[in-house]
Amino acid sequence: MIDRRTFISSLAALGGLSAASPMSPAFAGKLKEPPAAKMKLGEASPFTSQTVIDKAKQLSQSDYQAPVKIPKEWINLTYDQYKGINFNHKSALWGDTNKPYWLEFFAPGLYFPSPIAISVFQGDEARPVLFSKDVFRLAHLVPDLPVDETLGYSGFRVRTTINDPERRDEFVVFQGASYFRAVGRGHIYGLSARGLALNTADPAGEEFPDFREFWVEENNSGSHSITIHALMDSPSVTGAYRFTITPGTHTEMDVEAVLFPRIDLKHVGIGAETSMFLFDETNRNRFDDFRPAVHDTDGLLIENGAGETLWRQLANPLRLQVSSFVDDNPKGFGLLQRPRKFADYADLEARYHKRPGLWVVPGENWGRGSVTLVEIPADREIYDNIVAYWRPRESLLAGKEHRFSYRLYWCDEPPVLSKMPKVINTRMGKRFSGGRLVTIDFTRTDMLPKDIEKIGNHVGSNGARVTEGILQENPETGGIRLAFTFYPKNRRAVELRAQLRYKDRMASEVWLYRWTA
């Protein structure tokens, strides 16, 4: 087990787990420009979806073997040296064809000391993608690096015409442990997904399974979707994953996972998401920053099995905190970015208003468990300090096969079932008369009457005194603002809950927040 912050910060230092950002201007014009090399493929071998499942099952029946390491000269690269190794776009696999998808690859080294195997498949045959240093453009600061049989790529990205019919932009990246990211039309990369989360926030440390091998579909049919298979391995579990990915206004992924635990797994995270939340109008006073807010996402939305829609506003606590929302067959959950205007962040570089949310829709009967939210203290925006996932109530037993399916939406707004007014912003501050003032802005829908006097509200807490909520029209948003004050006194933590009501029925999302001293 290793420390989460050490692991995540090392990956995030490369632009959020992908090293996929445009080349730094510092390297522009300082590159050794060899002719664009062609990607090479190895000999074909039989392949089907069952191939990956069989490999995962067989692997689980033997002791875990750590992956091989690449030459130390690659591992010992500095941050700037590694960022100076950039894939030559002219070498993209299928880049000289009219196929709908092109593949580009990431170099090994630095935070990626072990290679992953990547193959492409068509029909019932697969061919390995062979490693070549010649497909990379090297800045002058990159030293001479040896090439031997241990080398392989550390990940890959896929390009297609998602934004412009004349240009292929990247829309999905796989690199680092079991992490992957995607965007919809007009988005830039933000939060990440994970194949599996194990023992997140446990005192003994977290385990990070690796995707050790990939098979990427060679799409000749003109289909709008692309299929990617992945083999996962870790000391505790192996797994076979199938991703069917459809890019668009929102990018959809149908995920099928078959897990084979080596040991009984008591703390598993399915549909795991990792994000960053530093500050917004609830904790703005803690940061001396020119921006009004800094976060990839600002809330966790849950449509639970009981028919409630919950909005849990995110926090950046001073101490680790874990929240569990017990449920039976949830309809969906995900971390979302609700504020969507540039002025909400005023950041021309990070462009947080362009970052997608990620919504998870369970497939088959997930049964009982809990949507789990982990909030980790952070003092810089390089740390992914927010994790959300589904934790099954029952352990996943060793020697058994466990199947999960779900759909991921990388989106501005998820396809939720509820049409109730939603939370669009939360603000908080100290009152001169004592206590803390909270304002919550809701959208307005046809579910609410035009006369605000007919709308009620409910505000509650787990022990702190709260005032009666006051409703006002918000001309800026066109919605309704709910304001109330709570008095924490000497309490170290206070749970807050608020909701609009109409005719003695719930008439909005349920707003939840955990305030900590």
pLDDT digits (tens, 9 = 90+) for 63-110: 999 999 999 999 999 999 999 999 999 999 999 998 999 999 999 999
Based on the fold, state whether residues 435 and 387 are members of the same structural domain.
no
Q: Which of 350, 384, 411 is the last residue of a domain?
A: 411
Which two three-digit tokens encode residue 435?
Answer: 């206590």
CATH number of the structural domain spanning residue 121:
2.70.98.10
User: Cα separations (Å) of 54 from 235, 239, 315, 404?
Assistant: 18, 10, 42, 17
Question: Strands (DSSP E) along 218-250, which ranges?
Answer: 226-233, 237-246
Instruction: Say yes or no: 235 and 365 in one domain.
Output: yes
Confidence check: pLDDT of 335 > 60: yes
Q: What are 339's two structure tokens?
A: 């504020």
Helix (H) or strand (E) holding 9: helix 4-12
- The whole-angstrom separation of Cα 491 and Cα 384 is 28
Tell me, yes or no, whether 74 and 47 share the same domain: yes
Q: Give residue 476's domain range.
A: 423-516
The CATH number of residue 484's host domain is 2.60.40.10
Asked if residue 376 and residue 247 are part of one domain, the reply reads: yes
Whether 25 shows a pLDDT value over 70: the answer reads no
238 in the same domain as 158: yes
pTM: 0.92
Work out the pLDDT band at 473, boundaries 50, 70, 90.
very high
Q: What 8-state DSSP symbol labels residue 314?
A: -
- What is the tens place of the pLDDT at every residue in 382-408? 999 999 999 999 999 999 999 999 999
Residues 193 and 267 in one domain: yes
The total number of structural domains in the chain stands at 2
In the predicted structure, residue 447 carries a pLDDT above the cut 50 = yes
Residue 471 lies in a domain: yes
Q: Which residue has the tokens 């090297």?
A: 138
Give the DSSP H or E segment for 50: helix 49-60
pLDDT of residue 21: 40
Are residues 428 and 396 part of one domain? no
**Distance of alpha carbon 95 from alpha carbon 479, whole angstroms:** 48
φ, ψ of residue 233 in degrees (nearest 5): -150, 145
401 and 463 both lie in a single domain: no
At 24 the pLDDT is 41
